[in-house]
Amino acid sequence: MAGKEKKSKSLSQDMPESIYINRELSWLAFNLRVLQEAADPAVPLLERLKFLMIYQSNLEEFYRVRIGILTHRAMLTPNKKDPLSGLLPEAQINEVLRITREQQTLMESIWKTIHEELRANKVDVLDFKKISKVDELMSKKLFRDIRKMLDPRIIDYDKALPFLWSGESNIIAFLDYGTEQKLCIIPLHRVPGYLSFEIDGCQKIVLTAQLVRHFLPLLLKKVTILQSAVMEVTRNADVFLSNAAKHTDEDLRDNVSTMLTKRQREMPVRVRLYGKLTDQARAVLMKKLRVPENRVFTQSVPFDLSFRSCIGGPARFRYEERRPARDIGLKKGEFFSYIDRHDLLLSFPFQSMMPFVDLIYEAADDPEVLSIKITLYRMSGSSKVAAALAYAADRGKDVLCLLELRARFDEQNNIDYSEMLEDAGCRVIYGLPDYKVHSKLCVITRQHGGNIVRITQVGTGNYNEVTGEQYTDLSLITAREEAGQDAETAFAALLDGEIPPAAKSLWIAPYSFKSRVMELLDREIAKGEAGRVAIKVNAMNNLEIMEKLIECSQAGVKVELFIRGICSLRPGVPGKTENITVQSVVGRWLEHSRIYSFGEGGEQRIFLGSGDLLNRNLERRVEAFIEAVTPDTREQLNRIINALREDREKSRRMLPDGSYVRDEGGAGTSSQEALYHYFSTFRVSLNEPVPEIEKVGSREAAVSSGPPESGFRSWIKRVFNID
């Protein structure tokens, strides 16, 4: 929607007045912002279609996970209220279902507009209700090509349905055999999601589910088809390992594999239909699937929009190309020399992840390197990082990979990589029984000049080259010895199956994340109206943190929150949060980096790391954070915050009632575009002057200085690895 958008309905208007917003409803408000991008005429046509795909995919995962959790809570603890909104589990589910239906109306309107614009541009997604004779003849030929891959299953009314896999489309048909009625289920997992052909310069896209449904009479001959629909079941993904399984490290891979099988067979939490069925037919399905009426959704938007990838069309259909910058000014073999004297910040997707991969290869080939330790959470299908680690192991380095097998929906991929990395000679461990290891932490140890020196990397996002081109993330690499020692201590604890202890230089959750944030917020509270806080995260719902932010606001501290998704605190409430602002950026790339800034000018302390302000990140995960202390890294992080602050094109403000608006006149202020142009041209040089340490607040930061000194001062810097 161009310009000022219509204010969305208050999330809390039907609930008791509260300064807090229910987590699930705040997430739905975020997904609505994704859907609004699909409606924005300023967004290129195929990118709008992509946002529609993302909206549906997000909602599918939300139902599998969050509604799955609430469903279990409604059964096990039905009278336990949500601490923020006061809603019981069943009330939360009902509110989610209501809002989903409300958003579905907008989704269908957006699809209709996109569908018509595609047709106007000679891309016709066939509608079998209004199909021409020529298109039907061509479609019939396509149907005959896939007919042998279809396996109709006829079921008596009193028999159970065959098992329907979560997220897979099926045709459901009600048949009349004269003396009795039967059901037919046709799974579609063996056929492609779409087919296409071209007539007179017009691309015709045939959605396979609708194709099969249309030509059912050719498949089910001599049978009267009463009605039919495309059906997809969403199953509960809230499945946990047993306590015994979690504590059996040797069998963890097998236990996770068993969990994956169990997850696919959990109870449905939602059923979607494309095509109307009578109330009687719906009742039959609900009984067989054991789902209530309010969890069955009939929609006119196809479930599978992946046909977007086959559409060509003019350049205006897509965003202008933005390639990550591969060249940051360093070549292979120069990374150690640079990082020994400077901190290095990489900003994705504006810069490529390949410099980090080059660093691993440089470590693999360096005879001084003793070991590489890394935490891995999600990796791409053909991971260059994994290949570099395997190469390092082959070159005789001690490579320790902590691979979190419980990264939701990436479990199988991580199981596969654990086997591959072990085969390559890496040591692989699987994390902690009750805590997910979500940190993005790597430490390279080498023996240099008779000393043990370390290079430490802390990131906000996964070591994944695919998402590295889709998400905004940060990676800070340093040779500061204090950071290296903290990283080594963390890995030693994880290797022993223990939670890493509180650290000095790094923040390591759960023991030294929340406490450090609270301490620094207290520091700003003590400054009163001179206090400044700027936090960029993906989500926030922790009550203690929010109470402290309210205290900041009441003390006059200016608090800026840049939160892409869940934000359970309403800003601008008189007497409570009037000094707090909340902005959410939804744009071309997924905002994923986490930055924590306290104070300003010479007293500013600014950190980056892997965790949000959610309960799980603060209390149930191992996260890692590092402070930026050199002038260039601090400047780069502040540039990100400033770009977000000035964004009026892709940023929306939260109002005191919890709704979001986008200001008018924002064209040309996109933070993502501004940061792309800055970081994609940013280069470093081996000849840069070495920063010198000065005191900032209670911590050390760096300022520019001349060339490195010689003599005793130089010896002190080298021995203690002070930049």
CA–CA distances in Å: residue 347 to residues 266, 534, 639, 672: 40, 19, 12, 11
Name the nearest CA neighbour of 396 among 423, 426, 422: 426
Q: Which amino acid is at 258?
A: T
CB within 8 A of 221, min separation 6: which ones? none
Structure tokens at 71: 């469903």
Is there a catalytic annotation at residue 438?
A: yes
Cβ atoms of 411 and 260 within 8 Å: the answer is: yes
Beta pairing partners, 272: 232, 297
Q: Which residue has the tokens 């169990």?
A: 262
Q: Is there a contact between 155 and 288 (Cβ–Cβ < 8 Å)?
A: no
d(CA 619, CA 613): 10
Q: Is the peptide bond before 349 cis (omega within 30 degrees of 0)?
A: yes
Angle (nearest 5°) at CA 370 between 369 and 375: 100
Q: What are phi and psi of 461, to 5 degrees?
A: -135, 170
630, 723 contact by CB (below 8 A): yes
Check: CB of residue 232 under 8 Å from CB of residue 297.
no
Nearest Cα residue to 445 out of 359, 372, 386, 389: 372
ω into residue 574 within 30 of 0, thus cis? no
- Token readout for 694 is 């000065």
Q: Do residues 593 and 562 lie in contact, with contact meaning Cβ atoms separated by under 8 Å?
A: no
At 466, the amino acid letter reads V
Q: How far is CA 594 from CA 28, 404, 563, in A?
A: 21, 20, 9
How many residues are recorded in the chain? 723
Catalytic residue, from 214, 342, 438, 592: name it.
Answer: 438
**Distance (Å, whole) CA 36 – CA 38:** 5
Pairing assessment for the beta strands 621-622 and 605-609 based on DSSP bridges: unpaired
Active site residues: 438
